[in-house]
A and B are shown apart, each in its own frame.
Chain A
Amino acid sequence: MITKEMCQIVSHKEIAADIFELTVKANFVGQIKAPGQFVHIRVSNGWDPLLRRPISISSFDKKKNQFTMIYRKEGKGTQLLSQLDTGEVVDILGPLGNGFPVGEVDKGQIALLVGGGIGVPPLYELSKQLTEKGVIVKHVFGFQSESDVFYEKEFSNYGETIVTTVDGSYGVKGLVTDVIKSLSFDCIFTCGPTPMLRAIKQEYSNKKVFLSIEERMGCGIGACFACVCKTGNDPSGNSYKKICSDGPVFRAEEVLI
């Protein structure tokens, strides 16, 4: 059930350079089905910016009716969002989309969680749930530079966490794909920039890989056909998946990226 709700802000803070952690109270938390779902936020009551902002749910607490999002302050919309204080309310539509299938990996197996930049947050709830299930989780996260790194300690509570930075200012210098090569695992869950997802999809076609894809969205519920991608193995080239409502998480072989 998708709900539009005025959600009260419980906490809101900057946790890395331009990276904000926002926790709100919402009655629809009980409707969240899986890690990796997202919400659509209206950042202003006016018409500029006009559209909602899709932001992934990074963790939720059904007992407290709260959920947390982590976003990067980048454009006008997230700039406005970042100015909201604890106690204020924000118009949120959610929960939306389909998340990571926790059931696809068994107790005792190894799941590799690979995140790039602002693609890291939805993996947090996933890591928590996989760990609770008895799955061994390993994390590999890529950031531009030291000031961009967040949640390393939080993820470390659940499993081995390797951080890479493009400029080498923190952790391993290089890309996540360089590090993954040396690791053993049964399946991959990943979220991040498309080139990273593409590289992982190509390299590990023999493994179970789940991708969370990002695209510019309109409605966020599947009606406007803005965020579509082509499906794999379709000679006609006409079949498609809607990222907002069929995804944002897909089996790698389901989609062409």
Chain B
Amino acid sequence: MNRLNVELPGLKLKNPIMPASGCFGFGREYSQLYDLNLLGAIMIKATTVETRFGNPTPRVAETHAGMLNAIGLQNPGLDKVISEELPWLSQYNVPIIANVAGSVEEEYVEVAREISKSPNVHALELNISCPNVKTGGIAFGTIPEVAKQLTRKVKEVSEVPVYVKLSPNVTNIVEMAKAVEAGGADGLSMINTLVGMKIDIKTGKPILANRTGGLSGPAIKPIAIRMIYEVSQVTNLPIIGMGGIQSAEDVIEFFYAGASAVAVGTANFVDPFVCPSIIEQLPELLEKLGFDHISECTGRSWKQNGQLAYHRS
């Protein structure tokens, strides 16, 4: 019995587990460790039109049960991603979700138009929530009308479904979700990192060269769960949940909150085999919890009894 296969717009996944964008490069490094065919999908590193070096170092700082990063969207640029990284990834039978970034609307549109033509790109993840770049990124992710407009423009050119990656750095996440839904989004991915800072006790200065960075890891999981819980009840969009997932139990919690698939980010750094181990552990956990299929878990935290699929326990 396959308990893990799920279908989302543009994505037929053998399981709902995928590495999160920015934590997995373009897959080459982790391919030395395990067969990438095991993964449900891969969210590749954010791509911009031009090559970007990103921010000065230090770019990471550890915090309690989490880490701050300020990489700054370093990537080889659209042409190289299309001509080198995506063809390399096509040797695997894994759908790719391409993370699209930019500093102005035109850049997002150009990346989306071109990258969505690649045969193994099955969906886009519109990155309107990177906290670590000075222009673009987060500005698009905090003003509902701007987010809606950008979503619409990208939808017009994209050949594949568009998932908008929401920023948690907003007062009202529901409003943002509704805005991008109105803009034509096919799905949501949430949450991106939370803006934070760590100060060196010896020097008295921020550790990150960028001063602020995005907080990720187990520390942010309750925030992700709460936001998915809120958003999934008021939109019809499927949600790829992320934010501090470390285990199969965490995955179930995200589904209960309202997710239909999940991405694993920082945990890859702690245990590079975390994605395949979660995939291996999930069927047994579902059996223990009394579910025949993982999709039965979606929204369980808020659905009324009548809305719930059959549950054996």
- Do chains A and B stick together as partners? yes
Which of A1, A225, A237 interacts with B32 by CB under 8 Å? A1
Interface residues of B in 53-98 (CB under 8 A from A): 53-54, 57-62, 64-67, 69, 71, 74
Q: Is B35 engaged at the interface, CB distance under 8 Å to the other chain?
A: no
Q: Is B24 engaged at the interface, CB distance under 8 Å to the other chain?
A: yes
Q: Is A48 engaged at the interface, CB distance under 8 Å to the other chain?
A: yes
Roughly how many angstroms separate A218 CA and B224 CA in the complex, as a whole number? 22
Chain A interface residue count, CB cutoff 8 Å, equals 33
Residues of A within 8 A of B218 (CB): 47, 50
Roughly how many angstroms separate A162 CA and B271 CA in the complex, as a whole number? 41
Residues of B within 8 A of A4 (CB): 33, 271-273
Residues of B within 8 A of A238 (CB): 51-53
With A49-B62, A50-B65, A50-B67 as contacts: A223 and B268 at CB distance below 8 Å: yes
With A1-B32, A4-B273, A221-B29 as contacts: A228 and B54 at CB distance below 8 Å: yes
Which of B32, B66, B74, B269 has the most A CB atoms < 10 Å from its CB?
B269
Roughly how many angstroms separate A235 CA and B28 CA in the complex, as a whole number? 27
Roughly how many angstroms separate A237 CA and B207 CA in the complex, as a whole number? 23
Roughly how many angstroms separate A229 CA and B57 CA in the complex, as a whole number? 8
Which of A49, A217, A220, A228 interacts with B74 by CB under 8 Å? A228
Interface residues of B in 198-235 (CB under 8 A from A): 207, 217-219
Closest to B76 in A: A238
Residues of A within 8 A of B54 (CB): 225, 228
Roughly how many angstroms separate A139 CA and B209 CA in the complex, as a whole number? 34
Interface residues of B in 270-286 (CB under 8 A from A): 270-273
Q: Is A15 engaged at the interface, CB distance under 8 Å to the other chain?
A: no
Contact B270 A42 (CB under 8 A): yes
With A224-B23, A245-B29 as contacts: A50 and B57 at CB distance below 8 Å: no
Q: Nearest Cβ distance between residue B112 and chain A, in whole angstroms?
A: 22
Q: Nearest Cβ distance between residue A38 and chain B, in whole angstroms?
A: 15
Contact A223 B60 (CB under 8 A): no
Q: Nearest Cβ distance between residue A40 and chain B, in whole angstroms?
A: 9
Residues of A within 8 A of B33 (CB): 2, 4, 221
Q: Using CB atoms and an 8 Å cutoff, list the residues of chain A in contact with chain B.
A: 1-2, 4, 42, 47-52, 93, 215-230, 236-240, 245
Q: Using CB atoms and an 8 Å cutoff, list the residues of chain B in contact with chain A.
A: 22-25, 28-30, 32-33, 45, 51-54, 57-62, 64-67, 69, 71, 74, 207, 217-219, 246, 266, 268-273
Nearest 3 A/B pairs, CB to CB = A223-B25, A47-B65, A223-B29
